[in-house]
């Protein structure tokens, strides 16, 4: 993955971890389909990400989303 920053590679690894969890659960993510070679590459990218680190990543993202949604809702109520 030449030319990628470490941050971009980390985001890609976490994306891969999430997609692997979806595939392992025999679910599909609408709009995203991958070849067997791409799935194999995602497994390699996701391998260094442990369960605890992925759970932390998910919780932090959820908290950020909730904060943004809450702020958007409150700013919408104040403008009326």
List of residues 6+ apart from 32 with CB closer than 8 A: 19
Of 51 and 30, more confident = 51
What is the per-residue pLDDT across 62-74, written as a single tens digit (0 to 9) for each?
A: 999 999 999 888 8
Query: Among all chains, which residue has been given the structure tokens 């605890």?
Result: 52
Using one digit for the tens of pLDDT, what is the confidence trace for 10-39?
A: 999 999 999 999 999 988 878 888 999 999
Residue 57 CB neighbour total at 10 angstroms: 17
């Amino acid at each position: 993955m030449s030319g990628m920053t470490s941050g971009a590679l980390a985001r890609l690894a976490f994306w891969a971890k999430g997609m692997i969890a979806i595939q392992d659960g025999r679910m599909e993510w609408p709009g995203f389909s991958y070849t067997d070679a791409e799935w194999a590459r995602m497994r390699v990218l996701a391998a260094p990400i442990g369960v605890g680190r992925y759970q932390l990543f998910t919780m932090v993202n959820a908290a950020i989303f909730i904060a943004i949604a809450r702020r958007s809702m409150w700013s919408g109520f104040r403008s009326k």
